[in-house]
Amino acid sequence: MKEKSKRGGFTGSLGFVLAAAGSAVGLGNIWRFPYLAAKDGGGIFLVIYIVLALTFGFTLLTTEIAIGRKTGQSPLTAYGHLSEKWKPLGVIASIVPVIIMPYYCVIGGWVLKYFVTYLTMQGKNATEADYFTGFIGGNIAPVVFMIIFMAATFFIVYNGVDKGIEKCSRILMPILFVIILIVVAFSLTLSSTDENGVTRTGLQGLKAYVIPDFANLTLKSFVSTVIDAMGQLFYSLSVAMGIMITYGSYVKKETDLNKSINQIEIFDTIVAFFAGMMIIPAVFAFSGGNPETLQAGPSLMFITLPKVFASMGFGTATGIVFFILVLLAALTSAVSLMETSVSTFMDELHWSRKKCCGLMVVIMIVLGTASSMGYGLLDFIRIFGMNFLDFFDFMTNSVMMPLAALATCILILRVVGIDGMEKEIEQSSPFRRKKLYRVFIKYFATICLIIILLSSIANVLGIISM
């Protein structure tokens, strides 16, 4: 009991749900989900995503949170508690956030830079051809913005689970939600007339987003939509990074896990859906009505959207509001990454939170600076043709995370037993989707994970293109 209180914990279910949703809602929701939906036939992608969220996503999320609460430990020691032989799995799960955190902060720094650009009324500059590449290729400015972003994350994690993470999630997550609603409403009212006199509205863009495009549906496109949705869901729920195990370890035994898990899933999915309602109509109205102009990742956020903002009314204000939204989403995800690493160090080394935060800062600055400079000074260093940031991203997302999730399913099936997981959930409330959980953890989750693993490696090797 004493040890538990030393680790800290969430005060109640709302704090837990908002913190976990804060982790889940991140860059993936904003810069990847809308792109995939536009690429994969609008409504068809949405329906497949929701079905997978309620089955596959639900199974993985439930497993990790239950492991956390059952063992009361962060990933490294949690796996060791379940079975000494399986501790190496804990090593993989706990290394993932240590690798992701530094480069996530590099991107957090880019978002911060754009926020400052709009705040200082320089949004127009962001539309210049080499503004983005010029900035990230620099050796000082991106590192400085990264360090500021890290400092904010550090401050929250340093203050502990309830006074830092829970408190900030309780404030930031509702703000994030309100902002996204405002931007969605604005985006839907947009309209633009091009030089040929054709008017395109945000509402038409909304239609392209939600109405299923059956006309272009083929078996091949269906399969690739399912694979896209699976991979996206996996990343979006923050599973296989040890995060949900760590947050689960801070949950009280009387908290209704069943309900909390549903709420986390709903929150994450709604924000992803709204992100599409915010971005697709705006890009549709101002980029010639061709959904293919919508791209994923950095080019959407740092190149396409600034152009859209520049060509519409209230562009600067929209840029400010949009980038603060992205900043909040990225910050709460970064907090969960840092907390997982700090918690792992605390559980394994029995050091104080202060000391573990210090250790993590050193790792973050060294790896983060290397990742950032991979676009500038260190551009000549290539690992399998990738710069540091892309390589770290590939190793974690495409290799280590699917492997860790796969091994976790096997551990539950072979060692812990599905009953062990069910008992943990049922401590606080009836386990409503128990049958579904059984079927999925036994058969489908492993199959889905193998597909994710193989397809993402094949994608990076250029064998398929996703």
Provide the minimum distance between the beta carbon of 237 and ligand PHE in the complex, in angstroms, as a whole number. Answer: 7
Q: Which residues bind ligand PHE (CB under 6 A)?
A: 23-24, 26-29, 100, 104, 235-236, 238, 333, 336-337
Provide the minimum distance between the beta carbon of 232 and ligand PHE in the complex, in angstroms, as a whole number. Answer: 8
- When the beta carbons of 24 and 301 are compared against ligand PHE, the nearer one is 24
- When the beta carbons of 28 and 80 are compared against ligand PHE, the nearer one is 28
Provide the minimum distance between the beta carbon of 29 and ligand PHE in the complex, in angstroms, as a whole number. Answer: 5
Backbone angles phi, psi at 193, to 5 degrees: -110, 125
Provide the minimum distance between the beta carbon of 148 and ligand PHE in the complex, in angstroms, as a whole number. Answer: 19
- When the beta carbons of 26 and 142 are compared against ligand PHE, the nearer one is 26
**Which residues lie below 8 Å from residue 167, measured CB to CB, with a gap of 6+?**
159
**Which residues lie below 8 Å from residue 215, measured CB to CB, with a gap of 6+?**
none
- When the beta carbons of 8 and 231 are compared against ligand PHE, the nearer one is 231
Provide the minimum distance between the beta carbon of 38 and ligand PHE in the complex, in angstroms, as a whole number. Answer: 17
- When the beta carbons of 54 and 203 are compared against ligand PHE, the nearer one is 54
Provide the minimum distance between the beta carbon of 62 and ligand PHE in the complex, in angstroms, as a whole number. Answer: 17
| CA–CA gap between residue 112 and residue 125 (Å, rounded) | 15
Provide the minimum distance between the beta carbon of 145 and ligand PHE in the complex, in angstroms, as a whole number. Answer: 18
Tell me which residue of 280, 270, 253 sits closest to 24, measured CA to CA: 270
Tell me which residue of 383, 42, 431 sits closest to 206, measured CA to CA: 42
- Across the strands, what pairs with 201? 191
If 0-12 CB within 10 Å is exposed, 13-18 middle and 19+ buried, where does residue 414 land? exposed
Amino acid at site 335:
V
- When the beta carbons of 97 and 315 are compared against ligand PHE, the nearer one is 97
CB atoms within 10 A of CB 134: 11
- When the beta carbons of 27 and 328 are compared against ligand PHE, the nearer one is 27
Residue nearest to ligand PHE (CB): 26
| CA–CA gap between residue 447 and residue 247 (Å, rounded) | 26
| CA–CA gap between residue 192 and residue 284 (Å, rounded) | 10
Helices (H), 8-140: 13-24, 27, 33-39, 43-52, 58-71, 75-82, 87-119, 131-136
